[in-house]
Amino acid sequence: MDNYSNTNRNRRYKAHVSIFGTTQLHLKSPVIVACWSMAFPGFGHLILSKYLRGMLLFVWELFINQRVHLNQAMVYTFIGDIAAAKEVLDTSLLILYIPVYFFAIWDSYRTTVDLNKFYILAERENAPFNSFSIGALEINYLDKRNPLMALFWSLTVPSMGQLYIHRIVLGFFNLIMTVIFVNSSHMLTGIQYLFLGDIVASTASLDAQWLMYIPSFYFFTAYDAYTNTIENNKLFEQEQRYYLKRCYQPPQFTIVKGSKVS
């Protein structure tokens, strides 16, 4: 059940609050979005709330990377062992990877530019949108939330920040990916060795191919949760201003011209 049903009489809407999350248009820097796509294809689209293509590109990158051992080759390259990098790369699928990688960067950049324009148009049109949604599975509503708490929870276990601000689809996806990455990279084993002070055993226990997904994934989820909390808060304020103006400014209201009493 929503508190507003779309009449389809407006041309553009700047937000939609549904059972599965709060989707909104807001101004973003196309360069930052493109940078996220460079870090991991799909991240740029996930920031834009284009979940289906974001997840498609993400899973694509994961599959190809696992097949060609790109992460392992990257580790060897940074170490300076170019021969080992060449050795480990499986070139049969490598060329398949390259166009999609650049497509993800280009597409997320130009989509951000487009959505920024549509944000300005939607803002000018100021069409009413749904701001409360209740159903059998979930409840979602606009509210103010603390961006630093979103950041903190994201930094504990990626996906918690998304759950905090009701980005259910991305929260779900991130939680699954967190478990896969942590499990396959043996990162927790490595951390446990560090607690014991055994750095050599820690390094030896880690799987480089899987471990290298984690830095970009970890910081991306934190960034996504933090910035979207701020944008959701701004949306809440805008919506409340609009509501107060619409419902609580009766023309017959008069101001008492007395004096202040204590």
Partner 1 sequence: MQVFATFEHSSFVELAITALEEKGVGDMFAVPLDNRRGERNVFDTLHRADGISNVGKGMVLAVVFSVIGASRGFVMAWGPIYWGLIGGVSGFVIGLAIDIWINKVWKKNKRLLRGKNAEIILIVTCEDKQTEMVEALLWEHLAQGLAKIR
3-state secondary structure of 56: helix
Subset of residues 165 to 184 that bind partner 1, contact rule: CB under 8 A: none
Report which secondary-structure segment, H or E, holds 23: strand 21-24
Least distance from C-beta 8 to partner 1, angstroms?
28
Task: Supply 55's token pair.
Answer: 């997840």
Contact with partner 1 (CB under 8 A) among 6, 10, 126, 146: 146
Query: What is the pattern of x (binds partner 1, CB under 8 A) and - over residues 217-236?
Result: -xxx-xx--xx--x--xx-x
Angle between helices 30-39 and 94-125 (to 10 degrees): 150
Separation CA 258–CA 12 (nearest Å): 46
Rule CB under 8 A: is residue 78 a binding residue for partner 1?
Answer: yes
Cβ atoms 3, 129 nearer than 8 A: no
Least distance from C-beta 206 to partner 1, angstroms?
6
User: Beta strands of 67-211 (E only): which ranges?
Assistant: 132-134, 139-141
Rule CB under 8 A: is residue 104 a binding residue for partner 1?
Answer: no
Least distance from C-beta 144 to partner 1, angstroms?
6
Rule CB under 8 A: is residue 216 a binding residue for partner 1?
Answer: yes
Least distance from C-beta 69 to partner 1, angstroms?
13
Rule CB under 8 A: is residue 147 a binding residue for partner 1?
Answer: yes
Separation CA 149–CA 161 (nearest Å): 8
Query: What is the pattern of x (binds partner 1, CB under 8 A) and - over residues 19-58?
Result: ----------x--x--xx--x-------------------
3-state secondary structure of 147: helix
Separation CA 167–CA 173 (nearest Å): 10
Residue count (the chain): 262
Nearer to partner 1, 9 or 188 (CB): 188
Separation CA 217–CA 211 (nearest Å): 10
Kindly list the residues in this chain that would bind partner 1 in the complex (CB under 8 A): 29, 32, 35-36, 39, 74-75, 77-79, 143-148, 151, 187, 190-191, 194, 199-200, 202-203, 206, 208, 211-212, 214-216, 218-220, 222-223, 226-227, 230, 233-234, 236-237, 240-241, 243-245, 248-250, 253, 255-256, 258-262
